[in-house]
Structure 1
């Protein structure tokens, strides 16, 4: 209709001029109507509306999981992708390393049994709002994660009925260990260092005062002060060693170590101490190699600690025996047996606690820090090994490391 408007306006203008000029207005009006009719008749007909039902064509189906997975594989944190029914649709390699492979389509509870995690995921699915929580695990070693679950915005990519949720784990174990390590160090170090520091201060005051002119007393006091300073140095070294072990307790070693030459090396290193104490260290080693996955330096520290303790605290028996089982039909085991006075049963469960001593006076007289077995425990935890203690009063004690 828009194309005819100029023509109609032109015809109307001509008709108006004719009437004003005094022409016969009925004839002009009839002529004008005739021209309008001709113009409308010559207009091309508009195509008839197509009444054929049109099929609605949906957007092509698109599977976003391969693209989401390719992105998540670049992350070093464990990540799961779950659906509305809390089934696992994808897990990246970091999740497999941390929690083990989970068949796709399995329910999340098949791997993560914590009610708190499952409730958090269900709440996000119900509200479509992100959630976050802190979660800790005790086995095989203590680990702390910050868990976050959030919906994935797939609007315009897949049909609205498709909903996916990403569950991520941020490992904050090291941060928590550092915080705990700082507080433990302050508490334990201040407690254990108080006694030697008080002794040093007292001897220094004595040497500055009454013993100033007594060479014999000054010489004796300097020897005691040296022993106290050495004890503090050992204590600080053990605390630092324990702290380093805690930082990597969740990382299992992957090197192969032959225990036969390692134990022989430890025995050779402790022979001077054993001779001084009047103790014989006797080895019982099998034929061939006995290999385990471990860190050689840390295992040396374990067996040095255990054999040295057996020599010191089992000195009365005059014999320390070390048995190595090759583990062909059973786990590899190393047992250190002394013939000393033994340990009362009520003390055995607490031996690996920091600064725990069966006899404080006896431990200090033998220059112990109370941290040796705590260090052994942390090393064995990292090696996925166990420390088993058996003791009988009057018959001796047996410490067994089972890999």
Structure 2
């Protein structure tokens, strides 16, 4: 078979591919492979074209015994690291045995696997501390503090706090799982948002007062609805208000504002804005892009002290995505933070 038909065949493949002839030179390569390797490679020895040891070993072994082998190739695309599964298979050419390399992009699979590993590691880490504390206190109550009533009461209070922390973590994990499962299903039920905002605000007034804060609520008088899941939008409000009250202590007030329908460029249509503003310490700018990551905390010690699980804003993000909305976060150190949810009205 001549080289021209070989090149034409490889160009028809949906994957990057190249063919190495019996003289160990690249005799055909398609456009996808050229883009991946960053070089034409045609006519060059496969070592100079491929360069990565694992791939070179697979090609060498395939030349030696003709058996198919699979390895990995690490690339870069648009500044992003990519991972490819490379299959090297023997090809019978007129000049003798050649090797056909095909590249399959498995970057998404690798990232998903890494996310699962990170998730398990984070959950294990979050549970280890309260579990260790509970085990330690149980041993103490059975031993040295067995007959010490004062110590028993103090330890039981701490155990209750740690057990509550684990319960909140499990509940947030279940909430996140439910939200992710439904994320592709866009809500269509009309939701009177102003009424929901007023109801949630009343529930949080006592908590705000206990923290020395005034909860200021601004809601339009004219009624309107948005397509939404009432339970999930309530959860968004709960999480944002709880954070604002926990971390806005000393700021005097927390503001909950709902704006009426108007054109929203980010939605390319009409939408409403739901904003929660505190006047606390604020957040340094370099943290803002990562706030919605699972288990990401600006101040790990303080977050755990006030009962945070590190999942609240991740849940908010997924709920907003399900509603085809936008989440905007603004903050400046020493001037507080504003979290704005933009929801489409249709």
Query: Deviation per CA, 1:14-33, whole angstroms, max 9, x where unpaired?
Result: xxxxxxxxxxxxxxxxxxxx
Q: Report the Cα distance in structure 1 between the residues aligned to 2:149 and 2:231, rounded to whole angstroms.
A: 44
Q: Report the Cα distance in structure 2 between the residues aligned to 1:374 and 1:381, rounded to whole angstroms.
A: 11
Unaligned runs of 5+ in 1: 1-117, 122-172
Aligned to 1:227: 161
Closer, same or farther: CA 181–242 of 1 in aligned 2, 3 Å: farther
Closer, same or farther: CA 219–303 of 1 in aligned 2, 3 Å: same
Query: Deviation per CA, 1:83-126, whole angstroms, max 9, x where unpaired?
Result: xxxxxxxxxxxxxxxxxxxxxxxxxxxxxxxxxxx9549xxxxx
Aligned to 2:229: 295
Is 1:261 the counterpart of 2:195? The answer is yes
Is 1:284 the counterpart of 2:218? The answer is yes
Aligned to 1:129: none
Is 1:383 the counterpart of 2:323? The answer is yes
Q: Report the Cα distance in structure 2 between the residues aligned to 1:255 and 1:367, rounded to whole angstroms.
A: 33
Aligned to 1:337: 277
Q: Offset at 1:328?
A: 3.1
Mapping for residues 155-166 of structure 1, pairs under 5 Å: none
SS of 1:317's partner is coil
Q: Offset at 1:242?
A: 0.5
Q: Offset at 1:329?
A: 3.8
Q: Report the Cα distance in structure 1 between the residues aligned to 2:189 and 2:118, rounded to whole angstroms.
A: 31
Q: Report the Cα distance in structure 2 between the residues aligned to 1:328 and 1:358, rounded to whole angstroms.
A: 33
> Could you tell me whether the CA contact under 8 Å between 1:307 and 1:336 is conserved in 2?
yes
Query: Deviation per CA, 1:321-353, whole angstroms, max 9, x where unpaired?
Result: 112111234431111111111101111111111
SS of 2:280's partner is coil
State the 4+ residue runs in structure 1 displaced beyond 6 angstroms. Answer: 178-182
Q: Offset at 1:300?
A: 0.3
Aligned to 1:71: none
Aligned to 1:237: 171
Aligned to 2:335: 395
Q: Offset at 1:252?
A: 0.8
> Could you tell me whether the CA contact under 8 Å between 1:185 and 1:239 is conserved in 2?
no
Is 1:374 the counterpart of 2:314? The answer is yes
Q: Offset at 1:290?
A: 3.1
More strand by share: 2
Query: Deviation per CA, 1:348-395, whole angstroms, max 9, x where unpaired?
Result: 111111111111111111111111001101111111111100001111
SS of 1:350's partner is coil
1:365 pairs with one of 289, 305, 324:
305
Q: Offset at 1:292?
A: 1.4
Q: Offset at 1:186?
A: 3.3
1:348 pairs with one of 279, 282, 288:
288
Q: Report the Cα distance in structure 2 between the residues aligned to 1:369 and 1:328, rounded to whole angstroms.
A: 35
Q: Report the Cα distance in structure 1 between the residues aligned to 2:306 and 2:131, rounded to whole angstroms.
A: 19
Closer, same or farther: CA 394–185 of 1 in aligned 2, 3 Å: closer
Q: Which of the pair has the greater relative contact order for Cα pairs under 8 Å at 6+ separation?
A: 2
Unaligned runs of 5+ in 2: 1-11, 16-107, 265-270
When normalised by structure 1's length, the TM-score is 0.55
Mapping for residues 81-92 of structure 1, pairs under 5 Å: none
When normalised by structure 2's length, the TM-score is 0.63
Q: Report the Cα distance in structure 2 between the residues aligned to 1:398 and 1:290, rounded to whole angstroms.
A: 24
Q: Which has the larger radius of gyration?
A: 1
Closer, same or farther: CA 248–198 of 1 in aligned 2, 3 Å: same
Q: Report the Cα distance in structure 2 between the residues aligned to 1:299 and 1:230, rounded to whole angstroms.
A: 24
Mapping for residues 1-400 of structure 1, pairs under 5 Å: 120=14, 186-330=120-264, 331-400=271-340
Q: Report the count of equivalent residues.
A: 235
> Could you tell me whether the CA contact under 8 Å between 1:326 and 1:333 is conserved in 2?
yes
